[in-house]
Amino acid sequence: MTRRISILGATGSIGLSTLDLVRRAQPGDFKVVALTANSSAEALADLALEFRPEIVALADPANVKTLSQKLAGNGIEIVTGEDGVIEAAARPADFCMAAIVGAAGLAPTLKAVEQGAHLGLANKECLVCAGDLFTDAVAKSGAVLLPVDSEHNAIFQVLETKQPEAVRRIILTASGGPFRSKTAQQLKSVTREDALNHPVWSMGAKISIDSSTLFNKGLELIEASYLFARPSSQIDIIIHPQSVVHSMVEYIDGSVLAQLGSPDMRTPIAYAMAWPERMEAPVERLDFAKTAKLEFEAPDEVRFPALRLARTALETGGHAPNIMNAANEIAVQAFLDGEIPYLGIAATVEAVLEAAGAAQTLSQRPSSVANVIETDAMARRLARGIIEA
């Protein structure tokens, strides 16, 4: 049976990997319904001409002319702005890939959740920001949430849900990023290019920077806590530079179950797209005789304060993860724009969390999605203020 699929963030790293799988599937396995992008009109138009969706959405209306010129006469509906992206997300589909980067993905992803279909969740920030409000919306709509983040996908695959008390802990693996072996002194002079150059994974700019600071692992700690309903005390992080063991679950009888595979996002994407079945993915197969070594080491929270900040935010609860995420998004952009040095990223996030703590907004429970979005905007203003000072 043909599965209708929509992709939010189609022009990004995850979006393109998803479309690569559609391209290689049997004709008739998938029908692309909706594609969205932020501002890459050319790239979106090319994808639309290849995959023939019913609707395309461009969040930034500035380049819409390019899109409409390239798609003229093809009968593909074009919408723009944030509302346009939400409209595309509302198109009935059997599977939606949520692959927008950052909190900007929250409203469109929630709209897709309302459809009650299968949702592949790559956009971890929207879960970090909205927490229980997001998982409650999933429960209410009856949507099936399929984690695409490789670690969470691994946990999803090996987590026994029939006896929750039999799980002792979740062990999230982290590659450690490009600066795993750098000293605190060396981290001071890290450049944008160094930070964008991940040793194992090829990804979008924002998550590449987050992988280098370990904010990505911090966001994933929070993501895991909400996805699998586990407190901070039951989630450990371990550095595993080869990124072959994608994460593990330890049970009370001492068994540890892991999911392994080549570091290629097309495996977790294919898992989510085909669930509850499996489909072929063109990834390099593991050759254990050649995989010389699998190494593990404890993370260093002194050189990588993101881990400490994220754990504290998770344990504080309320708006803290949302505020941390917003501050990090602004700080990462400021670093990419050359406004702050590398170590300024974590310093900015910490300063925003301190300021919000003093204003007592940190631990308040978000009352609604609108309240989450307001608090996100407040944290962005605080972060900009701190950077400009």
Residue 12 interacting with ligand NAD (CB under 6 A): yes
Residue 85 interacting with ligand NAD (CB under 6 A): yes
- Minimum gap (Å) between residue 13 Cβ and ligand NAD: 4
306-325: contacts with Mg ion (CB under 5 A) = none
- Minimum gap (Å) between residue 168 Cβ and ligand NAD: 26
Q: Among ligand NAD, Mg ion, none, what does residue 13 contact (CB within 5–8 Å per kind)? A: ligand NAD
In the beta sheet, which residues pair with residue 58? 37, 80
Residue 99 interacting with ligand NAD (CB under 6 A): yes
Gap between the Cα atoms of 301 and 346, Å rounded: 12
Gap between the Cα atoms of 164 and 167, Å rounded: 6
Question: Judged by CB under 6 A, which of 6, 11, 18, 173 binds ligand NAD?
Answer: 11
* DSSP code at position 283: P
| Token reading at 302 | 């002194």
Instruction: Report the 3 state secondary structure along 217-256.
Output: HHHHHHHHHHHCCCCHHHEEEEECCCCCEEEEEEECCCCE
Residue 267 interacting with ligand NAD (CB under 6 A): no
Gap between the Cα atoms of 256 and 77, Å rounded: 49
Comparing CB distances to ligand NAD, the nearer of 71 and 167 is 71
Binding window for ligand NAD (CB under 6 A); candidates: 13-21, 326-334, 340-348, 373-381: 13-21
State the amino acid at position 105 in one-letter form: G
Burial 231-248 (b: 16+ CB within 10 A, else e): ebeebbbbbbbbbbbbbb
Residue 380 interacting with ligand NAD (CB under 6 A): no
Q: Among ligand NAD, Mg ion, none, what does residue 38 contact (CB within 5–8 Å per kind)? A: ligand NAD
Question: Judged by CB under 5 A, which of 54, 87, 125, 149 binds Mg ion?
Answer: 149
Question: For 100-252, where are the E strands, in sequence order?
Answer: 118-121, 144-147, 167-174, 235-239, 245-251
Residue 264 interacting with Mg ion (CB under 5 A): no
Question: Judged by CB under 6 A, which of 21, 33, 87, 125 binds ligand NAD?
Answer: 125
Burial category of 176 from C-beta neighbours within 10 Å (exposed 0-12, middle 13-18, buried 19 and up):
buried
The greatest distance separating any two alpha carbons of the chain, rounded to the nearest whole angstrom, comes to 63
Binding window for ligand NAD (CB under 6 A); candidates: 18-26, 118-126, 289-297, 343-351: 118-126
Phi and psi at 350, nearest 5°, equal -65, -40
Total residues contacting ligand NAD (rule CB under 6 A)? 28
Q: Among Mg ion, ligand NAD, none, what does residue 201 contact (CB within 5–8 Å per kind)? A: ligand NAD
Question: Which residues would be at the binding site for Mg ion (CB under 5 A)?
Answer: 149-151
Residues that bind ligand NAD (CB under 6 A): 9-15, 37-38, 40, 59, 85, 99-101, 104, 122-125, 149, 201, 203-207, 265
